[in-house]
């Protein structure tokens, strides 16, 4: 399936009260992350969800911030992670991406907390711009869709 064939995702139906969500973003590439955040916020608003937003310095800090959010004891129904890593001329990119993905996945599996993962890992800024544009291919929107689906599933199974 090409990007042009990407499905248009419907707004998930969430049983119960409007979800309380947290967005942890690494706005190093502000224009890119802002485009993803706006699309995610629009989808969240359509469900009535509240969305608190916090910033971290970069992608590497995302898993630790996620862990701190869980440890804070605040009652979030789910967390959205947004950021962008652009490949450079060294292997730094591979290390940052691998460890960030692993850190978030470990926390997700360990806790069962619904997490939407919108960390772009791209070769060029142009690729990031395409994935953060104001259309239905926006990866912030897709990550929010995944998060809301997990929140709905968790509630349907009586885990929330």
Catalytic residues: 92
Which residue carries 């009586």 as its tokens? 158
- If phi over 0 gives left and psi between -120 and 50 gives alpha, with beta otherwise, what is residue 62? alpha
Assigned token pair, 152: 């709905």
Cβ atoms of residues 132 and 138 within 8 Å: yes
Secondary-structure percent of the chain, ordered helix, strand, coil, rounded to 5: 50, 20, 30
Q: Where are the alpha helices (DSSP H) in 19-134?
A: 30-47, 62-71, 92-111, 125-131
> Which among 91, 93, 117, 92 is positioned nearest to 103, based on CA atoms?
117
């Amino acid at each position: 399936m090409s990007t042009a064939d990407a499905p248009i995702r419907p707004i998930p139906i969430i049983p119960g009260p409007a979800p309380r969500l947290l967005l942890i973003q690494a706005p190093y590439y502000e224009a890119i992350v802002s485009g993803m955040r706006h699309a995610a916020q629009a989808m969240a608003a359509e469900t009535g969800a509240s969305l608190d937003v916090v910033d971290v310095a970069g992608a590497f800090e995302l898993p630790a911030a996620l862990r701190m959010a869980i440890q804070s004891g605040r009652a979030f129904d789910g967390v959205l992670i947004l950021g962008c890593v652009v490949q450079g001329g060294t292997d730094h990119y591979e290390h940052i991406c691998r460890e960030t993905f692993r850190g978030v996945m470990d926390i997700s599996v360990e806790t069962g907390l619904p997490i939407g993962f919108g960390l772009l890992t791209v070769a060029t800024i142009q690729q990031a711009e395409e994935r953060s544009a104001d259309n239905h291919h926006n990866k912030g929107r897709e990550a929010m869709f995944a998060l809301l689906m997990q929140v709905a599933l968790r509630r349907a199974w009586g885990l929330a």
